[in-house]
Structures are given as C-alpha cells and as structure tokens.
Amino acid sequence: MTSTLTETLVLEPAAQDLLFRDARTVAAFTDEPVGDDLLHAVYDLVRAAPTSMNCCPLRVLALRSESARARLLLHMAEGNREKTAAAPLVLVLAADHAFTEHMPTLFPFVDADAYFADPALRAGTAEYNAALQAGYLILGLRAAGLGVGPMAGFDREGVDAEFFPEGRLHTALVLIAGRPAGESPYPRLPRPDFDQVVTSL
C-alpha cells in the first residue's frame, strides 16, 4: 500500500523519504560544521512558506559563539543541555509580535496596525504563523541533508529575557541541527492511521 501511495505523489520517492519517511528527530551529530552559506540557502528555499496576510513573523537567532550558546544552556531543560552544547548548529526561533512594521511592504493592501490593534490577535497571529514557518524551516534543513532536533524543553521566559529583553520577540522553539551521527537508537513510535485523523463529509 505504501508503495502505491508513494507513486501517487509528484515528489520523487527519494525526496519523500529524505523529507518525511526516513527523517527522524536527531540528538547526535558529527563534527561537520553548518555554515551561514548553507543556512542562507535553506532560508531561501523556505521563505515562501504561507502565513496569514503574508505577515512572516518568524525570526531566527543562530548561536555561533560558545558564549552565546552558554547563555542559552542556562535556560534549557537538563535533558536537552548536552545535545544542545554539542550540536553544530543551534537556532532560537522567535515570533516577532511587532511584525506589522514590515507589512506595508509584505502586505500593502490593509492598514495592518489597525487590523491587528487587539494585542491578543496580534500575539496569536505572530505565534501561530511563526510556528507554521518553523515547520517549513525544519523541512528545509532536512532538504539540505541535515538532521534536526526541535525542542520546547526550555524556560521560555528565561530565553526571552536573555536574548530578547526589549519584549518584541518571543521564543517559540529551539532547533539543533547538523549531519546525523549514526542511526537513532530508538524505534520509530507509531502515528495515527489515516482513518483516525481524516473525516470526509
């Protein structure tokens, strides 16, 4: 059945496997560095991810220096510190709650400041759409041949105070990435079947 479904899709089977079927959350990496050129290429690939009214609130902080990474480790859950310290690439993904500043260029058809005058609507829009963009970024990193470890195990208020004290950016996720070191030691856990998830009316 899986092979029939694979053949139904336009994307080449090898690419399907790379991005989805064979991809796993990765916690152990080789020492091969991940430079800004590769990160730039990944962003260029995923920059057209859909967002509400093209608001594009995702902001990415790449922690390159040991001192910057040490500041992050203070706020990571204990079980996430060692792998974060060792990863070739550490990204802090944040939602820009002042995203309307750029909407005269990104979506010039409405007065975005007026439309998003309600702080709750503005915050919710920033958080939801940054998460959507983060999903695309994970796929882009996989497309570059990297393994990715998304983590929510950290003190969000602590990370915000450490790196975004002005209050405009709010941390959504921490990603570690690099070339995977070997196979995952854990079996893949089950996922819900199609009929458990999809309902047609």
Q: Which residue ranges in the chain fall short of pLDDT 50?
A: none
Residue with tokens 């005269």: 104
Instruction: Give the pLDDT of residue 1.
Output: 54
Q: What token pair was written down for 82? A: 């060692």
Which amino acid makes up residue 174?
Answer: V
- The model's pTM: 0.94
**Domain regions of the chain by residue span:** 24-182
What span, in angstroms and rounded, lies between the C-alpha atoms of 17 and 131?
A: 23
CATH of 24-182, picked from 3.40.109.10, 3.40.462.20, 3.30.200.20, 1.10.1200.10, is 3.40.109.10
Q: What token pair was written down for 135? A: 């999903």
Instruction: Give the pLDDT of residue 61.
Output: 98
